[in-house]
Amino acid sequence: MRVLAVSVGKVQPLWTTAPADSRQVTSAIVKTPVSRLEDPLAVQVGLLGLAGDEQADLTVHGGRDKAVYAYPVEHYAVWRTIRMQALKIDAELPYGTMGENLTIEGLTEDRVWIGDVVTIGADPAHALVLRVAAPRSPCFKFNARMGFKHAAKMMVQSAYTGFYLQVLKTGTVRAGDPLSVSPGERWMRVDEQHRFNTSGGQQQLL
């Protein structure tokens, strides 16, 4: 398990994709890698997230409980196929496309539990320590980012949500850093929490 890329983004205008209600909103969902395997620069991580990263709506992203967003690279091939079917465009999706800070390998939603502790870095004394807090709940801004109107619905149905992390111990992160997981209470996996949250039509997608 390792970090493949570290990405950050600034709040900027974003156009929604609904034809009857196309409007400009603000979002920081557009993330750009600043640390890659070929150029593994260290990025500082504080209690509220990564240096240089912003969130437009702190009621749903960011803050202490959702300071860092991780997304498994294993889902990228699926999203490339879905996007190709929707837009008739076959293009590689760069890391950060899902709005994630950490593009990770080897740790998917069905393998990690709410409350698990994720340690990043080879040296335990200087490692970044995070706690798995929640699955992502996508909104209409994800549709705008992906360029088609049912992207958020597809994320909900697939449970390929990624997950938010709380920072327990500040530090740095860089592409190539190893991940390790220490069990928490393990009462619900991330994918199970997502399905519980969205059962019975509770999820509202605009």
Q: Which tens digit of pLDDT belongs to each residue from 72-81?
A: 999 999 999 9
pLDDT at 22: 67
Q: Which tens digit of pLDDT belongs to each residue from 81-121?
A: 999 999 998 999 999 999 999 999 999 999 999 999 999 99
Closest CA to 138 of 162, 165, 105: 162
In the chain, domain spans? 2-198
CATH of domain 2-198: 2.40.33.20
DSSP string, the chain: -EEEEEEE---EEEE---GGG--EEEE----EEEEETTB---EEEETTEETT---S-TTTSBTTTBSEEEEEGGGHHHHHHHHHHHHS---PPPTTTTS-SEEEES--TTS-BTT-EEEESS-GGG-EEEEEEEE----HHHHHHHTSTTHHHHHHHHT---EEEEEEE-EEE-TT-BEEEE----SSBHHHHHHHHHGGG-----
Q: Which tens digit of pLDDT belongs to each residue from 158-167?
A: 999 999 999 9
pLDDT over 50 (residue 205): no
**What's the whole-number mean pLDDT along residues 128-138?**
96
Q: Which tens digit of pLDDT belongs to each residue from 17-56?
A: 655 566 778 899 999 999 999 999 999 999 999 999 998 8
The percent of residues above 70 in pLDDT, for the chain, comes to 94
Query: What's the pLDDT band for 133 if we cut at 50, 70, 90?
Result: very high
* pTM of the predicted protein model: 0.92
Q: Which tens digit of pLDDT belongs to each residue from 137-146?
A: 998 889 989 9
pLDDT at 19: 56
Closest CA to 144 of 15, 30, 1, 8: 15
Kindly report the average pLDDT of the chain as a whole number: 91
pLDDT at 200: 59
pLDDT over 60 (residue 202): no
Query: What's the pLDDT band for 201 if we cut at 50, 70, 90?
Result: very low
pLDDT over 60 (residue 9): yes
